[in-house]
Structure 1
């Protein structure tokens, strides 16, 4: 029998850390993702996202999030992909960690971004989920660089980066919704990465790697 996983093997990928499970967001997960976002991600007027999606009215937030999840799937090719991993903590959907790459075979570089609902911030989950995708990128995908960025005022995100061994990689000015922000770019390599003491558990990697043409 043909299953959704046989058509879209990325759905079988699971990354497990001591406190978290990361897995691709399915259509069945979208309502939980929207509820988590609606519960609050950041203080009003302190938007950490270059596209201010989290500030949309409730009746627009859900459709906008669904379109983004569908678009990332529709545009996923071995040459250019963004994988949106839902974060489950104690059985609850609490955020999203994305990891993506352009021309991974040649550039050996991935980029990441994330969000967590406010009620679980400040206890190290952001660091744990970032470490998970960096470990997967370096140890399973063969990446040699992981990049990220944050508004210069976003000390929480930049603190996570620093704690994992990321180093500054230049600054730029970007349109951040209706504002202009100074953005700090950071990068980490296997040599500078501060590996966690725990081991990452990975399920479904082989089919996902084949789908993404990772050798």
Structure 2
């Protein structure tokens, strides 16, 4: 079984409406098909990477390759967990969480997208809350960072809804035009999930893949004075 070699295949994050997990081949095929369909108004480009400007078949292939690349390049020092978001048995999008030198910095970054027909129903908040629960309660993170271009009000709204604070801006070039990416930061002490309950299962056997142990997570709940 693949989970004997990659235990994160047993990881599940569940919320009242969603389950987040590493995709099976069928899940990944469903996500690739979803990526070929509409994700946003084609007159706008809300993503800094512009990946949705590619033709549908290319978007599908790049979605599969992006997932495979994240697994192939994974090290405890630099990792990205690419999860599918599932509602009522249907893959509706993807939610990623990553960390660089996480064992030292204890900081994560996130990214996500939803198929267009699943937007506007609160799923974006719920799936981000799920991985923030993983970060703060499962992995002992100290902070989470994210960002979105100012032409992506939905993503900006999710960050504000979940309590992130503005953390500066970055200039981007999108479709040959200047754009501004708003950065956000959320400290562990400020995390209060608006979604309850959120449950984690199957995490502990895979903690070493994140460069940490269970004792590290427990210690993060009781930091030394001044930390």
Structure 2 length-normalised TM: 0.89
- Does the alignment pair 1:191 with 2:189? yes
Secondary structure at 1:191's aligned position in 2?
helix
Structure 2: distance between partners of 1:181 and 1:106: 32
112, 115, 125: which one aligns with 1:114: 112
2:94 maps to 96
Deviates more, 1:81-90 or 1:18-27: 18-27
Check whether the contact 2:46–2:152 (CA below 8 A) recurs between aligned residues.
yes
Quote the residue 2:147 is aligned against: 149
Q: What runs of 5+ residues in structure 2 fail to find an aligned partner? A: 214-227
Aligned to 1:209: 207
SS in 1 for 2:188: coil
Cα RMSD between the aligned structures? 1.3
Question: Cα offset for 1:153?
Answer: 2.5
Q: CA deviation at 1:197?
A: 4.8
Q: How does 1:1-215 map to 2 (within 5 A)?
A: 3-215=1-213
Q: Secondary structure at the match of 1:98?
A: strand
TM-score calculated relative to the size of structure 1:
0.94
Q: State whether residues 51 and 177 of structure 1, in contact with CA within 8 Å, keep that contact through their aligned partners in structure 2.
A: no
Once the two structures are overlaid, the 10-residue window that deviates more, 173-182 or 95-104, is 173-182
Higher alpha-carbon deviation: 154-163 or 14-23 = 154-163
**Aligned length, in residue pairs:** 213
CA–CA distance in 2 between the matches of 1:69 and 1:197? 27
Deviation, 1:180, is 2.9
SS at match of 1:110: strand
Seen in structure 2, the aligned counterparts of structure 1 residues 213 and 183 have a Cα distance that, compared at 3 Å, is: same
Mapped partners of 1:61, 1:109: distance in 2? 29
